Amino acid sequence: MMRFCLVIEYDGRPFMGWQRQPHGSTVQSAVEAAAHAILGEQVVVHAAGRTDAGVHARGMVAHVDIERDMTPFRLLGALNAGLRPNAVSITECALVSADFHARFSCVARHYEYRMVNRRAPLTFETGLAWRIAPALDVAAMHAAAQLLVGHHDFTTFRSAHCQATTPERTLDRLSVARNGDVITVTASARSFLHHQVRSMVGCLSLVGRGRWLAADLKAALEARDRTALGLNAPPDGLYFMRADY
């Protein structure tokens, strides 16, 4: 048995998320189907994270065990051929030790959320970014974001369907930066709660519009109550960027 580490890039728009579902197409099922078609083996692909429907990835890390003797170069090419025409690409493939696990060996996960701050509708980036027409105060957003950095109970920013055993997480980084019309929120932590990044971004957008103050964001965090959430951002602009090991 050989274990391979895969780095996967995908457009989340056609999928119901990463995790295999009984009904509907998912990224996990697409990669597993491609592997079965070329190897003749039933395999399970384990990923560093589980993205929701419509969420994208530029560097999702996963691993897969296969019985056939194969080089990483050949496996990468074969999987990409089998994945066509899905909006999924294996960008890296490497042989790893049997004790490597894409999820449990991961020490940090990094996400980016992309907003386009302009009045004009999106053309090329529809479904790939969140357009916000009112002008956003990025400096206020970044300053407020620092209130969320550190170890907190993130119940307010957690989906009602989250299956994590505890709402406590340590957020290592949450930054907001502008480049022209594009505003990027970068979030890093060992792990995140379901919808945590989208919920934080949604509330930061309220700060940027002047509808919330930093004190309102702090109050929402301290409420430890999902009903205190101001806004949950859409999945369009969220990208899983990379995982650290």
Active site residues: 52
Closest CA to 206 of 216, 197, 198: 216
Q: 16 phi and psi, to 5 degrees?
A: -90, 25
